[in-house]
Amino acid sequence: MQQRLARGEAAALGELYDRFASLVHSLAHRVLDDEDAADRITREVFGYIWEHPDSYDPKQGSLRSWVAGITRHQAVQRLRQTEADSARDRGEAGPASAESERELERKIHEASTAARADYIVTSMPAPLREALELAYFQRRDYRQTAADLGVTEDEARRRLRLGLQLLSTAHNHQALPAVPMRRVARGPHTPRPPHPAPPGPGHGRSL
């Protein structure tokens, strides 16, 4: 796919869109909570990928996780911009107070975490997702979940616990910086983020 995009094959762009558009749109919508804004992010993300197909490095993870990373990055940047604009419209010119600054960072962190969590849920192995689905959305207890899935109760408990463990890694990230920068190298005792460096504009080899 990357090679086909790099050599300028429009049909490959269409296939890329068909594979990832709903992921991109739903992540952007989770961050921005606005249909038109999610449409715009979708345009930007595919425009960026089409213009910079070489910035994807397969060694850093799957194409899907790369696309999700770009989306989250673009959507969070947009959220930051929107929030700054609305603060200005409210007449809060000049340096923001420490209080509103913290509030903004909290909001951005929350939106970014929610987008990561959505991505993790859609990417986790289907048996884990199905178990969470039953226990959470359908309010089945783990014995009923086991019966519904045709697995042992041990297995149902294991799936629920592992699914939540994976999901909890959504918290393991820093808020994306306003100015794209490379992640600093980490020591052996620092928790690693669940994904490699957040890929996005400014992180690619093409720059």
| Of residues 28-47, those binding other proteins (CB under 8 A) | 29-30, 35, 39, 42-43, 46-47
Least separation in angstroms between residue 82's CB and other proteins is 19
86/136 with CB nearer other proteins: 136
120 binds other proteins (CB under 8 A): yes
9/91 with CB nearer other proteins: 9
Q: What DSSP line would sit under 116-169, residue for residue?
A: HHHHHHHHS-HHHHHHHIIIIIS---HHHHHHHHT--HHHHHHHHHHHHHHHHG
51/101 with CB nearer other proteins: 51
Least separation in angstroms between residue 101's CB and other proteins is 13
- State the distance between the two ends of the chain, measured CA to CA, in whole angstroms: 21
Name which of residues 146 to 205 contact other proteins (CB under 8 A): 152-173, 189-192, 194-195
Mark the segment that binds other proteins (CB under 8 A) among 14-22, 72-80, 82-90, 93-101.
14-22
- The C-alpha atoms of residue 21 and residue 23 are separated, in whole angstroms, by 5
Q: What DSSP line would sit under 69-116, residue for residue?
A: HHHHHHHHHHHHHHHHHHHHHTT--SSPPHHHHHHHHHHHHHHHHHHH
**3-state DSSP assignment of residue 26:** helix
60/83 with CB nearer other proteins: 60
Residue 158's nearest CA partner among 193, 121, 191, 125 is 125
Name which of residues 57 to 116 contact other proteins (CB under 8 A): 61-62, 65, 106, 109-110, 113-114
7/205 with CB nearer other proteins: 7
